[in-house]
């Protein structure tokens, strides 16, 4: 822990200091992340992950515990708020690791943890042969400086939902470009009297960053250079064009300005209530949109179409932002072999199938996208196959991604609200990201 020491020491000592200084300043929960007394026995492996409303994770753990393994698994339920969960994990690592052995980690975490040597290098265990069945982007997010630190658990991809009935009626094919989408939405809005043409997630949070990346990639741009994470490309032509496209979608009136306040559910609601023609969302929206009254949807299942996200120019390559979760092993854990045994069990195709069917956690395994029975149970997998195949990770290979994400979310949010021009916003963001990238270079030797 050559790198972690000073910061960890600092935090140990300053935790109380900052808490004292901010007693009058309103910050309240600074002490909440400190290591709690271990409640796990010597033969108990602790997995930490946010809540799962479907109950599938607990069932899987129960199944595992009933089988003949030399240890049992206990699930320590983390915060449903990914930001708070991340914050807690980071604090636990800084003060000595916490009690979790296996960490259910958001796909944007591995590099940030790995750079500080908080999670275990899995290169010897998770062999390239094993990796070959996983979507390339899911492996990419688990890599840091040529080594692999995470095992993909389940995946998400940004999709374009559309009203199949209305597009058919107007004789439209799903749009290939954003311009086409605007044209179709306007026509259908005028004919059918729909309130919204298009809704997406533009609030100042991680989901906004996903939408932002998709706009940039699908206009031929990028945030960081793919081969050199210390090189910032947000000020270049492609990225500016992506920002312009997003702003145009809003300024044209087709996408509501309120998208600047929308997260997933707020943007899905108008669509499933029949008030919007198009919606950008994750695969979970499919079962809600096609779930009828019980799920709160007023659409008939056959009205719901899923397509690849549009691009700015017809010849641009289309990408979808990768979301989802990985397994990581705590570097401070004394049960690394047990942890690896459990992870191997969890990523077995049949277990991943159970998660896909019961919880809607879509598998990162390419082979499962060919599994006829699974595709029948989860039709969105069939519909979204090409989107999953073209997923790309956010620039989370940078160990200071949290800092980048804060600035990116704010910049994108300001742009779609119309407070700044795309040129101003990207120029400003370029400066901020360059500063962060050079700090990462100095601190962690990223990019060399």
Partner 1 sequence: MSVASETGLRKRQQTGVVSGAWRSIRGEFTDPEKRTAYWMILPTLLVVLLIAAGPILYAIYLSFWRVLPNGQTFIWLDNYVTLFTDSGFWGAAINTVVFTVASVGLEFALGLTIAVVLNRGFVGQGAARAIAIVPWAFPTVVSGIMWRLMYTDQVGIFAYLADQLGLVTGPILANSTAVLLGAVVSDVWKTTPFVALLLLAGLQVIPGDVYEAARVDGATKWQQFTKVTMPLLKPAILVALLFRTLDAWRVYDLFWSMTDRQLDSLSVYTYKFVRISQLNLSVGNAAAVLVFLSSLAIAFGFIKLLGTRAQEA
Which spans of this chain sit near partner 1 (rule: CB under 8 A)? 3-4, 6-7, 10, 13-14, 16-27, 30, 83, 87, 112, 115-116, 203-205, 256-261, 263, 266, 269-270, 400, 402-403, 406, 410, 413, 417, 419, 436, 439, 442-444
- Quote the least distance from Cβ 124 to partner 1, whole Å: 25
- Quote the least distance from Cβ 365 to partner 1, whole Å: 33
Q: What is the β-pairing status of strands 196-199 and 143-144?
A: unpaired
- Quote the least distance from Cβ 11 to partner 1, whole Å: 9
Spatial separation of the C-alpha atoms in residues 407 and 437, rounded to whole Å: 13
Residue 263, Cβ density class (10 Å: 0-12 exposed, 13-18 middle, ≥19 buried): middle
Q: Which one, of 127, 266, 135, 126, lies nearest residue 207 by Cα?
A: 266
Contacts of 41 (CB under 8 A, 6+ apart): none
By the 8 A CB rule, do 224 and 295 touch?
no
3-state helix, strand, coil in the chain (%, to 5): 50, 15, 35
3 state SS of 147: strand
Spatial separation of the C-alpha atoms in residues 305 and 320, rounded to whole Å: 17
Residue nearer to partner 1 on the CB measure, 109 or 342:
109
3 state SS of 414: helix
- Quote the least distance from Cβ 436 to partner 1, whole Å: 6
- Quote the least distance from Cβ 17 to partner 1, whole Å: 4
Spatial separation of the C-alpha atoms in residues 416 and 254, rounded to whole Å: 13
What string of DSSP letters covers 277-346?
A: EEEEE-THHHHHHTS-GGGT--S-GGGEEEEPPPBSSTTSPP-EEEEEEEEEEBTT-S-HHHHHHHHHHH
Residue nearer to partner 1 on the CB measure, 175 or 422:
422
Residue nearer to partner 1 on the CB measure, 46 or 404:
404
- Quote the least distance from Cβ 256 to partner 1, whole Å: 7
Residue nearer to partner 1 on the CB measure, 16 or 190:
16
Residue nearer to partner 1 on the CB measure, 61 or 203:
203
Residue nearer to partner 1 on the CB measure, 25 or 55:
25
Residue nearer to partner 1 on the CB measure, 87 or 236:
87
- Quote the least distance from Cβ 406 to partner 1, whole Å: 6
What string of DSSP letters covers 149-214?
A: --EEEEEEE-EEEEEHHHHHHTT-PPPSBHHHHHHHHHHHHHHH--SEEEE---SSSHHHHHHHHH
Q: Which one, of 214, 215, 251, lies nearest residue 416 by Cα?
A: 251
- Quote the least distance from Cβ 109 to partner 1, whole Å: 13
Residue nearer to partner 1 on the CB measure, 17 or 51:
17
């Amino acid at each position: 822990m050559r790198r972690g020491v000073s910061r960890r020491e600092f935090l140990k000592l300053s935790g109380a200091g900052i808490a004292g200084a901010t007693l009058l300043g309103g910050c309240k929960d600074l002490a909440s992340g400190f290591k709690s007394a271990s409640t796990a026995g010597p033969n108990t492996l602790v997995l930490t992950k946010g809540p799962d409303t479907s109950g599938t994770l607990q069932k899987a753990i129960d199944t595992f515990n009933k089988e003949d393994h030399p240890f049992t698994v206990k699930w320590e339920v983390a915060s449903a708020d990914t930001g708070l969960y991340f914050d807690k994990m980071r604090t636990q690592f800084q003060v000595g690791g916490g009690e979790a052995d296996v960490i259910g980690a958001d796909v944007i975490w591995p590099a940030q943890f790995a750079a500080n040597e908080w999670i275990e290098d899995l290169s010897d265990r998770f062999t390239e042969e094993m990796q070959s069945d996983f979507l390339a982007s899911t492996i990419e997010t688990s890599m840091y400086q040529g080594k692999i630190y995470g095992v993909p658990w389940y995946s998400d991809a940004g999709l374009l939902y559309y009203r199949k009935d209305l597009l058919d009626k107007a004789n439209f094919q799903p749009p290939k470009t954003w311009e086409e989408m605007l044209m179709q939405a306007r026509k259908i809005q005028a004919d059918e009297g729909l309130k919204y043409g298009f809704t997406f997630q533009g609030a100042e949070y991680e989901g906004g960053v996903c939408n932002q990346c998709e706009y940039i990639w699908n206009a031929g741009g990028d945030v960081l250079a793919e081969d050199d994470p210390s090189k910032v490309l947000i000020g270049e032509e492609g990225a500016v064009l992506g920002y312009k496209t997003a702003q145009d979608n809003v300024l044209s009136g087709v996408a509501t300005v309120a998208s600047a306040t929308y997260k997933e559910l707020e943007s899905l609601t108008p669509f499933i209530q029949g008030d919007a023609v198009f919606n950008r969302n994750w695969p979970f929206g499919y079962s809600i949109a096609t779930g009828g009254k019980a799920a709160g949807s007023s659409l008939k299942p056959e009205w719901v179409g899923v397509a690849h996200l549009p691009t700015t120019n017809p010849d641009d390559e289309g990408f979808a932002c990768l979301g989802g979760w990985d397994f990581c092993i705590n570097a401070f854990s004394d049960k690394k072999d047990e942890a690896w045994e459990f992870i191997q069990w969890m990523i077995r195709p049949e277990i991943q199938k159970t998660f896909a069917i019961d919880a809607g956690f879509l598998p990162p395994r390419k082979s499962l996208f060919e599994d006829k029975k699974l595709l029948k149970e989860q039709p969105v997998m069939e519909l979204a196959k090409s989107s999953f195949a073209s997923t790309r990770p956010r620039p989370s290979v940078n160990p200071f991604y949290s800092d980048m994400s804060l600035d990116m979310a704010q910049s994108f949010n300001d742009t779609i609200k119309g407070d700044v021009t795309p040129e101003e916003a990207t120029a400003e963001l370029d400066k901020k990201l360059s500063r962060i990238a050079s700090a990462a270079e100095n601190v962690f030797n990223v990019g060399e």
